[in-house]
Structure 1
């Protein structure tokens, strides 16, 4: 469905743009918050992403995965903003403090079990590095493929596979098998 709506947008349909905006704005805000950016900064960055998307629509016919394109655009925009605001710091030295607030389970778990499971999930996720948390988030929550993760994280495809594998091994060592049943 995204492909059809995106094609309509590229062809000039403003209603398709509105649909795309409404579908992805909250996901982009959530992703940006997970990267550690403040809400007001994110609003500006997301607005820039959608303005550029709208203005460049005629040049976007080769975009294969709209979600990946938007995530990458937002991350690049945020990194550009960070570079502009930090004169003396090398952007490659910036360690992303990626975090996930696990709220996907809210509708699936009874209230009395929810806090216990959330605690275990948070402990599990906090055992990972920020980069590993981001990769797990992109792979299992947003279902990006390894090639897209590699491009978004500025690494090789093989490195993205290894990073996902290492995160899974690390989580397995903590013996939290229920997470893998959830991620299925």
Structure 2
């Protein structure tokens, strides 16, 4: 069966009906994105991988009682965020979101395309510097919106803030990025 043409609701119906291939497809579809997101919390690769495995195992075990109406991705990101924070708290190894480095953001194909167009090395450095000017919450919100492609409503639920507050947070983040990039261009032309 070709799962690529199915939406999340259809895939979830197959998973809840014990379709292991549909479950494997959802793992293949979302595991890398969850891994990249987990690296924003910690550099401990094994902790991130364990959290991903635990989330998917829990999803499979609860497939008969879990109801996913629209977005498997949102469900997974939300469950994963709780799981990674729980694991890190338990292990007392939580790193600050400062590890949420710009290098990880550049993995997204859209950003890579922009960087290639602007002249790789120089533009990378400007973007790295600009992203470092964002707060931890701003970096997380920008990552979830533009690189994980979650909706404002989904992100607001994950981060525990209102949609309006999230709009403001992302707006301010973009403003900081633009100002930082503009400043680096002006500095360079002097």
TM-score range, shorter chain: 0.7 to 0.9
2:136 paired with 1:130: yes
3-state secondary structure, aligned to 2:70: coil
Task: Name the CA distance, whole Å, in 1 between partners of 2:114 and 2:175.
Answer: 26
3-state secondary structure, aligned to 2:89: helix
1:99 equivalent in structure 2: 101
1:137-158, Cα deviation, whole Å (9 max, x unpaired): 1111222122111111122222
2:37 equivalent in structure 1: 31
Worse-superposed segment, 43-52 or 141-150: 141-150
2:152 paired with 1:146: yes
1:62 equivalent in structure 2: 68
1:32-89, Cα deviation, whole Å (9 max, x unpaired): 0122341111111111001001000112223421111111111100111122233xx9
CA RMSD of superposed structures (Å): 2.5
2:89 equivalent in structure 1: 83
2:164 equivalent in structure 1: 158
Change (3 A) 1:100 1:66: farther
Worse-superposed segment, 158-167 or 45-54: 158-167
Residue ranges of structure 1 left out of the alignment (5+ in a row):
178-184
Shift of 1:175: 4.3
Residue ranges of structure 2 left out of the alignment (5+ in a row):
1-6, 184-190
* Count of aligned residue pairs for this structure pair: 172
Task: Name the CA distance, whole Å, in 2 between partners of 1:58 and 1:18.
Answer: 17
Task: Name the CA distance, whole Å, in 2 between partners of 1:124 and 1:130.
Answer: 13
Q: Is the 8 A contact 2:156 2:163 kept in 1?
A: yes
Shift of 1:129: 1.1
Shift of 1:117: 1.6
Shift of 1:3: 2.7
2:51 paired with 1:45: yes
User: When the two structures are superposed, what TM-score results if normalisation uses the length of structure 1?
Assistant: 0.82
